[in-house]
Amino acid sequence: MYQLMVASKSDLEIVFQLIEQRIEWMNRVGIKQWNETNYCEVYPKTYYERLMRQGRLYVLKSNQTHRVIGAVACFDQDERWCDTKEVSAYYLHHLVTDYREKGVGHILLKEIEGVARKHKKHCLRLDCAMDNERLNQYYEEQGFLWCGQCEEGLYRGNLREKTLG
């Protein structure tokens, strides 16, 4: 039904559109996250081009429509975490899904778990806004446990980790 792959140049515009659509959705439903932190200015299209060239940007496509319905960037280190040199983890950032496609976030996370295992990673790590109760609850339900907090510019986040078995 779905296929996860490293993003190609033809995927970049769609990934950025998904981010812009998700920001508009956040405004409509009253969630404060990317829409409150100048996200598209901090992470412009050129940033995603660099991630794509580095092989860090993954996209999830529907096998039926061949359309990008989700994306995530995977890093081997993250300065928000103090022990990145000691822990073999993928640090997930910029996770976005088409808000009209229900359940895609869960599928994307499961697919990334498979990639992490293939690359001998022991856990997945991510962060989300402290005051985004809905997203914090979602990540908790997906097995990401709270590990601490981080701050960067306007952003205040909760650090979360999921151990891979």
Tokens 């928000």 correspond to 80
Nearest to 148 by CA among 158, 140, 135, 134: 158
Instruction: Please tell me the least confidently modeled range out of 54-63, 76-85, 87-96, 137-146.
Output: 76-85
Domains along the chain with CATH numbers: 2-125 (3.40.630.30)
For 46-75, the DSSP string reads HHHHHHHHTT-EEEEEETTT--EEEEEEEE
- Joined tokens for residue 103: 């359940």
In the numeric block, which tokens belong to residue 122? 């022991």
Tokens of 106: 């869960």
Upper half-sphere CA count for residue 149 (Cβ side, 13 Å): 6
Give residue-wise pLDDT tens across range 26-85: 999 988 888 888 899 999 999 999 999 999 999 999 998 899 999 999 999 999 998 877
Per-residue confidence at 97, pLDDT binned at 50, 70, 90? very high
For the entire predicted model, the pTM comes to 0.93
